[in-house]
């Protein structure tokens, strides 16, 4: 905020500055004669503007009343104005309006500083008024609207300076109206025929400070103080007196802040300002033009002489007041040739050396008038002229040493600079578009750079990014940006964005913008379209130019440089104020780095105004589109539309005509064209700005050379885009733009959709899907699905349908369609060998279960084996055949389930195995002389008992006890079971009559009463009698109906090794001696405890890693103690911390099981163990853990 200056201090300061004498002024406070109203506007609160004229014409402050005491009333630009009483000019034939005003830099136009008169309520137009505006500075009086205005303004009108206090006054008497700025008359109109009192015949109801008589105009943004109205024309001395407080304060402030920087050792010319920051006019004088001229030109003394000294004096003029300020200047002598080349070498600068992505500008001249030559140690990468040949993609970056030799006469110096040259980028398809534009001068942010990106790869549909706010804003030059243009380097990985340095918002002065506008363009650089360098202003236009509009660039492969072109009005060199009349023509300059430009040249000059050229290349021809700026008349029917031309050379000044009137018939007028080629087809688009109408309207063609462009029927552009660029971009660039500027538009994923459809029925695909965005949000978006061939859903199975979502082309939608399998698998079982007629196997039997499915093919069946008398077995996955060997009756159940869950139902087969022969015994009754036989079998049962009394030559079935005669009879006997097992032959002896068999006593002991299953129990048997001869014959050890061991007596004793397959448990054994010719039979009983054998389980994997969705190949091996081969089932358990997978498998005859575990879907490490569940004869055990890692 500006700080107020106390008048006394200011006057003292001005005296010290030797203020130039002026004519005698009236005392400001005494200038009261003829006052109609006087608003000092020095209140501190309230909504009343007090009238100090004595006429009680108090004003009413509307809106926000922000008072600053002695610094006036602040007008906020949106609500504040002062309503002055009605009829304030009634009866006046002369008038003076005097006031101090500070207009804010952001004041929009049009606006009135004050307006006294009336408003037509039906139109909102002024209807008779007197006003003053700052853009351009003028005062006008009218009895109607603008059509009747009689204006008083300078011959070359200029906007009122902003951000600084100004004193303005208008006097009118007779037919003369005079406009004053800072107490000095700047304009006079001697043809004013309307008197103030004529307005509304003296009746006025729309009298305002800070508000226009036109309702559509803007309110004042700024401050007003000391507002006076007189009924007479004040004289010059009076107006100078009224102006003096403001003028002297601003003059003193400008003098206090005026600086030239460090002038103690000037070696370069000074750019001496013509105005101070607050608008005070400056003129310069020098005390010694041989040291420095009044224009700032520095003349250095020859080398070896003393430094030159001089004083530069600035004369500050504001209104009728002047002041001076002096600056001492010292100019050192010229350097010696040796020092000059050394310092010049040190000062050399080459842009972009740290990241050389394109041709370099190697300066040919250096400081102090030196010349520079260059050499490269790797001319194949960077040659001596700065032309760059980057390494191919994949070769990596490289460095180059560039040596500069600086010359001045015979003296020279060298300096070596190192350049880093990255490899070229790999070629990438263009899959979207970036739209850079501005939105117009109607808002404070409209003249800044905005971005939009296409919807996927649609060149006609765009979405704003950065929530519609500017992406780049200007803090340099005019602080306005228009007509942005982005160009991609020919290498593909660097971008330059340039723009017009122009701001119309707040001033609306199109005329001034083409007379005293910027001669520079705004430049940014980027390697990713997201991170941009600080903006820089680069002067490209000549001093004779009044403007530099709509710059664009095109790379010329023959030059190895960019051709930058723009529109400028060129004024006569003698017309330094640019007050004459001229027209816009197209200019160009060339550059390699957008720092250093060639001298500008005229590119297109048809003799009338043309602007907004843009161009595109195709098949070696350059097509240029330019706006014809002439007024559209019957003789110039194509004016305000585009002309198309072509040339084989970019810099040609004689392009061939292709067509004109482009856009005519579709739009009312057109400018600001942009042109680009489609990413997907041989088609071009030309966007034309219908200024004041629809804004950008797209046209298209498939033949650039035809010149025929057709308006596009349907399109969706950002809100209010104005002259800009559409740049095709890669997917990575597209994603990067959205990530940086609008992540809620970047689709990162689409939720998968499961869908089920019956075979032969097309799937009903959804019209919308749920998309996930980079900012974490999600929403429903439209989707276009790929075509689905009927064959895809003809049979059970799954398939995926891909879709393009409306918000993205990179991330696809996907539907996994399942055609359900409703047919159950077929399962069957076969037993080998064939089942005997008896129904009992006398050896091992193999059961092979197979299952097939129409969709899945072979299916692993599940099998459950339950032995009669045991609890139900476990269901196991049983792919290999199942062999059963132990005696017993087995129920083998089987089933199969396919991947869809269809079950075959349960089938079963019964397998009966009996490998042990039955056991028979004989009872001899010597008195009745009979032999009674009996037999038993634990499994299939006894099918027959036979005997022989002739030594085994003939056998008879046993039905009744065998009767002996008088002589000794030996009876052989044996039993057969149902399975067909035949017992070994036993014998019983019936002694002769009157011969009595001696009794025998059988004793038996076990070596160990407790044994492990699988080991061999040993029984020690002794048979004794009272005869001299010891008992002979055989002894048998019986377990129920099964013989588990036998032995032949030797010396009355035998050692019997029993079967190692005696079942676990406490078993009662009977040791039987059948007798011989001398001794009768006898028996003994034993108790044996058999305990289960211990087991050890091992698990191994074929590989330690498995790809996602694949199965792990595992082998389980279970070994038992005492050489027992375990049987039964194993649980295989796999867990990855979040899920557990369990499979049940059956051991084969070797105690092994092989399985494919999976598929394993989750990435990570699985911990897998195998748990043997044990059997009736072997204990269970668990393996050590095996780990398998699932990778993608």
Which pLDDT band holds residue 26 (cuts at 50, 70, 90)? low
Which of 479-483, 1105-1109, 1158-1162 tops mean pLDDT?
Answer: 479-483
CB 817 within 8 A of CB 759: no
- Beta bridge partners, 1020, equal 1005, 1055
Q: What is the mean pLDDT of residues 290-307?
A: 95
Domain harbouring 576, CATH code:
2.115.10.20
Q: Between these two residues, 713 and 994, which has the higher pLDDT value?
A: 713
Tokens 């300078």, located at residue: 154
The confidence score (pLDDT) of residue 28 equals 65
pLDDT digits (tens, 9 = 90+) for 146-173: 999 999 999 888 889 999 999 999 999 9
Q: Is the pLDDT assigned to residue 15 strictly greater than 90?
A: no
Average pLDDT over residues 531-542: 97
CA angle in degrees (0–180, nearest 5) for 151-155-157:
75
pLDDT higher than threshold 50 for residue 2: no
User: Which structural domain, as residue segments, surrounds residue 771?
Assistant: 746-817
User: Residue 586 domain-assigned?
Assistant: yes
Helix axes 236-257, 7-16, angle to 10 degrees: 80
Rounded CA separation 347/332 (Å): 18
| Domain-embedded: residue 954 | no
In this prediction, residue 27 carries a pLDDT of: 64
Residues 888 and 833 in one domain: yes
DSSP state of 525: E
Query: Do residue 786 and residue 858 come from a single domain?
Result: no
Q: Is residue 323 part of a domain?
A: yes
Give the residue from 393, 421, 449 where a domain finishes: 421
Q: Is 1110 helix (H, G, I), strand (E, B) or coil?
A: coil
The predicted pLDDT at position 774 comes to 93
Q: How far does CA 655 lie from the centroid of its chain?
A: 44
Q: Does a structural domain hold residue 969?
A: no
Q: Quick check: is 2 in a domain?
A: no
CA distance 95 to 374: 73
User: Cα separation of 108 and 122, whole Å?
Assistant: 25
Q: 510-539: string of b/e by CB count within 10 Å (b at 16+)?
A: eebbbbebbbbbbbbbebebeebeebebbe
Chain Cα centroid distance, residue 281: 54
* pLDDT score, position 1074: 87
In a domain? residue 989: no
Other beta carbons less than 10 A from residue 734's beta carbon: 25
Where is the domain boundary, 725, 741, 757?
741
Transcribe 493-535 into DSSP letters.
Answer: S-EEEEEEE---TTT--HHHHTTS--SEEEEEEESSSSSBPPP
Q: Which pLDDT score is estimated for 14?
A: 42
307 in a structural domain: yes
844-870 residue pLDDT tens: 999 999 999 888 888 889 899 988 888
CB contact at 8 A, 696 and 721: yes
pLDDT of 37 over the 50 cut: yes
**pLDDT of 8 above 50:** no
Co-location of 434 and 494 in the same domain: yes
**Can you give the pLDDT at residue 528?**
98
Same domain, 1107 and 1140: yes
Q: Is residue 1041 part of a domain?
A: no
Q: Are residue 751 and residue 785 in the same domain, yes or no?
A: yes
List the CATH number of the domain containing 861.
2.60.40
Residue 810: DSSP 8-state? S
CATH code at 210? Answer: 2.60.120.200
**753 and 671 within one domain:** no
Max mean pLDDT among 293-307, 1070-1084, 1095-1109 falls in 293-307
pLDDT digits (tens, 9 = 90+) for 1118-1151: 999 888 889 888 989 889 877 888 888 888 888 8
CB distance 177 to 139 below 8 Å: yes
- How do residues 355-403 score in pLDDT, each as one tens digit? 999 999 999 999 999 999 999 999 999 999 999 999 999 999 999 999 9
Look at residue 16 in the predicted model and tell me its pLDDT. 43
Using the 3D structure, point to which of 887, 913, 939 is the last residue of a domain.
913
Token pair for residue 706? 């035809």
Contacts with 353 (C-beta within 8 Å, 6 or more apart), sequence order: 360, 402, 417, 418, 419, 420
The rounded mean pLDDT for the chain is 93
pTM of the model: 0.65
Q: Are residues 808 and 848 in the same domain?
A: no
- In this structure, the answer to whether residues 1111 and 1140 fall within a common structural domain is yes
Cβ pair 103, 219 in contact under 8 A = no
Residues 563 and 535: beta-carbon distance below 8 Å = no
952 against 191, higher pLDDT: 191
Domains in the chain: how many in total? 7
Question: Which string of DSSP letters, residue by residue, matches 324-347?
Answer: EEEEEEEEPPPPPHHHHHHHHHHH
pLDDT of residue 145: 96
Residues 101 and 151 occupy one common structural domain: yes
Do 288 and 155 belong together in one domain? Answer: no
Same domain flag for 686 and 776:
no
Asked if 243 and 382 sit in the same domain, the reply is no
């Amino acid at each position: 905020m500006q700080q107020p200056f106390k008048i006394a201090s200011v006057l003292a300061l001005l005296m010290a500055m030797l203020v130039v004498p002026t004519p005698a002024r009236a005392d400001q406070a005494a200038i009261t004669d003829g006052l109609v109203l006087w608003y000092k506007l020095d209140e501190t609160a309230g909504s009343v503007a007090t009238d100090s004229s004595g006429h009680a014409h108090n004003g009413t402050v509307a809106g926000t009343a922000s008072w600053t005491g002695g610094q006036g009333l602040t007008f906020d630009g949106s609500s504040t104005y002062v309503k002055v009483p009605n009829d304030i000019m009634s009866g006046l034939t002369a008038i003076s309006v005097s006031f101090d005003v500070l207009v804010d830099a952001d004041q929009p136009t049009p606006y009135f500083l004050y307006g006294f008169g009336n408003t037509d309520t039906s139109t909102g137009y002024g209807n008779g008024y007197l006003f003053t505006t700052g853009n351009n500075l003028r005062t006008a009086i009218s009895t109607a609207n603008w059509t009747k205005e009689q204006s008083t303004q300078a011959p070359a009108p200029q906007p009122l300076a902003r951000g600084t206090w100004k004193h303005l006054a208008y006097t009118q008497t007779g037919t003369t109206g005079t406009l004053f700025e800072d107490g000095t008359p700047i304009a006079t109109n001697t043809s004013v025929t309307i008197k103030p009192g004529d307005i509304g015949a003296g009746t006025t109801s729309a009298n305002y400070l800070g508000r226009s008589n036109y309702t559509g105009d803007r309110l004042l943004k700024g401050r007003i103080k000391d507002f006076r109205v007189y009924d007479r024309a004040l004289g010059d001395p009076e107006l100078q007196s009224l102006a003096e407080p403001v003028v002297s304060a601003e003059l003193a402030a400008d003098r206090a802040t005026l600086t030239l920087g460090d002038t103690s050792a000037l070696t370069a010319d000074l750019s001496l300002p013509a105005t101070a920051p607050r608008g005070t006019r400056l003129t310069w004088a020098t005390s010694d033009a041989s040291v420095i001229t009044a224009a700032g030109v520095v003349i250095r003394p020859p080398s070896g002489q003393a430094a030159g000294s001089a004083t530069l004096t600035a004369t500050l003029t504001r209104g009728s007041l002047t002041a001076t300020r002096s600056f001492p200047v010292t100019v050192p002598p010229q350097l010696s040739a040796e020092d000059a080349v050394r310092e010049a070498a040190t000062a050399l600068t080459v842009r972009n050396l740290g990241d050389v992505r394109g041709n370099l500008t190697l300066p040919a001249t250096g400081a102090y008038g030196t010349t520079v030559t260059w050499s490269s140690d790797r001319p194949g990468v960077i040659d001596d002229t700065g032309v760059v040949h980057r390494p191919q993609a994949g070769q990596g970056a490289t460095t180059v040493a560039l040596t500069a030799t600086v010359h001045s006469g015979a003296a020279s110096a060298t300096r070596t600079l190192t350049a880093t040259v990255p490899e070229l980028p790999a070629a990438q398809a263009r899959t979207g578009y970036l739209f850079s534009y501005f939105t117009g001068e109607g808002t404070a942010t409209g003249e800044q750079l905005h971005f939009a990106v296409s919807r996927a790869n649609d060149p006609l549909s765009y979405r704003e990014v950065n929530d519609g706010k500017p992406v780049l804003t200007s803090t340099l030059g005019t602080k306005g940006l228009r007509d942005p243009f982005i160009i991609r380097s020919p290498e593909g990985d660097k971008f330059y964005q340039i723009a017009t340095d122009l701001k119309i918002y707040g001033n609306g002065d199109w005329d001034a913008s083409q007379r005293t506008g910027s001669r520079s363009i705004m430049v940014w650089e980027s390697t990713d379209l997201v991170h941009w360098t600080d903006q820089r202003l680069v002067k490209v236009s000549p001093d004779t130019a009044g403007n530099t509009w709509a710059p664009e660039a095109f790379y010329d492969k023959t030059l190895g440089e960019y051709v930058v072109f723009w529109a400028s009005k060129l004024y006569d060199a003698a017309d330094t104020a640019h007050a004459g009349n001229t027209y816009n023509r197209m200019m160009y300059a060339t550059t390699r780095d957008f720092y250093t430009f060639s001298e500008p040249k005229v590119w297109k000059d048809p003799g009338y105004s043309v602007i907004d050229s843009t161009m595109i290349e195709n098949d070696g021809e350059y097509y240029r589109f330019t706006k014809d700026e002439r007024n559209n008349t019957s003789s110039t029917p194509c004016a305000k539309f585009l002309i198309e031309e072509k040339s084989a050379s970019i810099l040609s000044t004689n392009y061939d005509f292709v067509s004109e009137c482009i856009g005519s018939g579709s739009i009312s007028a057109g400018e600001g064209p942009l042109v680009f080629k489609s990413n997907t087809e041989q088609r071009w688009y030309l966007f034309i700005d219908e200024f004041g109408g629809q804004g950008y309207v797209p046209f298209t063609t498939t033949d650039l050379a035809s010149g025929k462009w057709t308006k596009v029927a349907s399109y969706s552009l950002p809100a209010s885009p104005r002259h800009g660029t559409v740049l095709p971009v890669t997917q990575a660039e597209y994603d990067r733009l959205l990530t940086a500027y609008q992540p809620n538009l970047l689709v990162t994923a689409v939720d998968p959709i499961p869908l089920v459809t019956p075979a032969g029925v097309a799937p009903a695909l959804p019209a919308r899907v749920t998309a996930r965005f980079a900012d974490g949000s999600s929403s429903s978006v439209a989707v276009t699905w790929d075509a689905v061939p009927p064959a895809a859903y003809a049979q059970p199975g799954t398939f995926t349908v891909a879709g393009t979502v409306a918000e993205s082309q990179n991330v696809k939608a996907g539907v996994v369609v399942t055609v359900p399998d409703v047919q159950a698998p077929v399962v069957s079982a076969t037993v080998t060998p064939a089942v005997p007629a008896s129904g009992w196997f006398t050896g091992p039997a193999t059961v092979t279960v197979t299952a097939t499915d129409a969709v899945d093919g072979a299916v692993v069946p599940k099998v459950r084996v339950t032995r009669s008398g045991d609890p139900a077995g476990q269901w196991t996955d049983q792919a290999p055949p199942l062999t059963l060997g132990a005696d017993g009756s087995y129920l083998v159940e089987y089933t199969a389930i396919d991947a869809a869950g269809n079950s075959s139902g349960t089938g079963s087969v019964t397998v009966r195995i009996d490998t042990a022969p039955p056991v028979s015994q004989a009872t001899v009754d010597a008195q009745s002389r009979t032999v009674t036989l009996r037999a038993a079998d634990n499994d299939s049962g006894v099918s027959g008992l036979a005997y022989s009394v002739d030594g085994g030559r003939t056998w008879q079935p046993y039905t009744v006890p065998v009767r002996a005669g008088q002589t000794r009879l030996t009876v052989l006997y044996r039993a057969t079971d149902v399975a067909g097992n035949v017992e070994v032959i036993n014998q019983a002896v019936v002694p002769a009559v009157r011969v009595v068999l001696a009794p025998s006593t059988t004793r038996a002991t076990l070596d160990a009463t407790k044994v492990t299953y699988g080991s061999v129990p040993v029984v020690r048997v002794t048979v004794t009698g009272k005869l001299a001869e010891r008992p002979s014959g055989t002894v048998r050890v019986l377990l129920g109906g099964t013989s588990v061991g036998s032995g032949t007596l030797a010396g009355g004793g035998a050692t019997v090794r029993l079967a190692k397959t005696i079942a676990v448990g406490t078993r009662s054994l009977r040791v039987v001696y059948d007798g011989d010719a001398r001794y009768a039979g006898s028996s003994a009983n034993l108790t044996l405890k058999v305990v289960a054998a211990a087991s050890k389980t091992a698990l191994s994997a074929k590989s330690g890693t498995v790809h996602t969705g694949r199965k792990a190949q595992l082998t389980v091996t279970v070994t038992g103690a005492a050489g027992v081969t375990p049987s039964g089932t194993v649980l295989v358990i796999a867990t990855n911390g979040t899920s557990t997978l369990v499979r049940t498998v059956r051991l084969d005859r070797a105690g092994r099981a092989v399985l494919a575990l999976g598929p394993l879907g989750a990435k990570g490490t699985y911990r897998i163990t195998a748990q043997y569940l044990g059997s009736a004869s072997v204990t269970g055990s668990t393996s050590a853990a095996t780990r398998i890692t699932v990778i993608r």
